[in-house]
Structure 1
Amino acid sequence: MDLLSRGSMVSRHGLVLLLLLLIGCVYADSDDQVFLEINDHKMTTLSNMSNGSGRNEQICTLCEDFASQTLSYLQDHETQTAVISGLHQVCSKLFSLKHQCLTMVDYYVPLFFANVALIQPEEFCQKVNLCEMMASLRLPNRDGPCTICHNLVVEFLTKLKDPDLQLEIIEVLLKACGKVEDHVQECKKLVFHYGPLVMFELEKFLETTDICAAIHVCKASQGAAVAATLLADA
């Protein structure tokens, strides 16, 4: 399934921006100062979003299950081909930034997929503190993985609409630009130009695309029904 082919041109711009920036900061060496600053900033934001909930082994196991499905999806050859093809198409629309964009895609995306192949789900959940974040969300214990996945999407959408959080996201992305060597200024221009549009289009993308079905947590028909119910109640 080619998720990049869906939505408007702005949403595709948003996906390439987010992907390239996150590649630069998430897979940096854990001893790197910029990575630590970004991670500290991110956890301050998550702390503000949460109610102080701590680690929960059941929640961590659930996180690892979701991470395993997502990593499997990213390791699929068809997914990788679709992502690279989609990013090349996006770069062709950036006019003066086309060459820099293609250079970044051709260097960082294969590196990203190579790192994905080495990641263990439990390591991923711990590194980006997803256990703690998921524990802070209002997730009914009786629900199955499909409903919980969609609950996570709805919670994320709710947080994404918070103006204070949007500003913090822009600040974190600007810091992440420091990791994109030789293209820092171009990266910052992309953040300022597309950042607000990215978040708006990302909201629409998550509202209209069944991410949980895409990563095989839900069956397509089941996921669509659950998503419609939860979004209606949000």
Structure 2
Amino acid sequence: MSTGFQCGSCLEASRSAEKTLNNLKMFEEVSMLSKKVCQALPVDLEIKCLKKSEDYIQYTQSMFQELFHEESLCNSTRLCSNENRVPSNGFLTDKESGGGSCSKCSKTVGKLISDLKDPRMKTKVTNAMLNFCEEKDENHQKCDETVYQYGAVVLDKLEHAKSKDLCKALSICGGGDDEDDD
């Protein structure tokens, strides 16, 4: 089977999955079901149940959308070879071409830092770290303990960090003499 055919098939499948996941009807049905379950609880617990279930539904939807996004799925599985690779919208690819990578990094990291002010986003990031721990077969428990011990502290520090400093630490922005340093 040719690489082009494999890549095309992967892209077609991921687009179909994305289309299905963008259909909110499926998630609305799950939400309605969770509301029925939560309504059976006492009022104080019902409110917590509704909030928690809604957070998990949103988290699950975003995780599935990310998983089946063509760039994530087809490139990470290497079904699309380097020649057929789905172009990335990230600033790292742009860095190689020499244009605007520092400003793109600063803007992207700035948005992430801003998003961390929302407690739901912090929960999503923490859950993503815990999911990463699950994928690590060795030291799974130690990884979880580390996330619980330091995760909140790291996220609080990130929330107060400067995007340009993080981009410099990632070697995307230079020391100040780069043309695209903002």
- Shorter-chain TM range is 0.3 to 0.5
Higher relative contact order (CA 8 A, sep 6+): 1
Larger radius of gyration: 2
TM-score by length of 1: 0.34
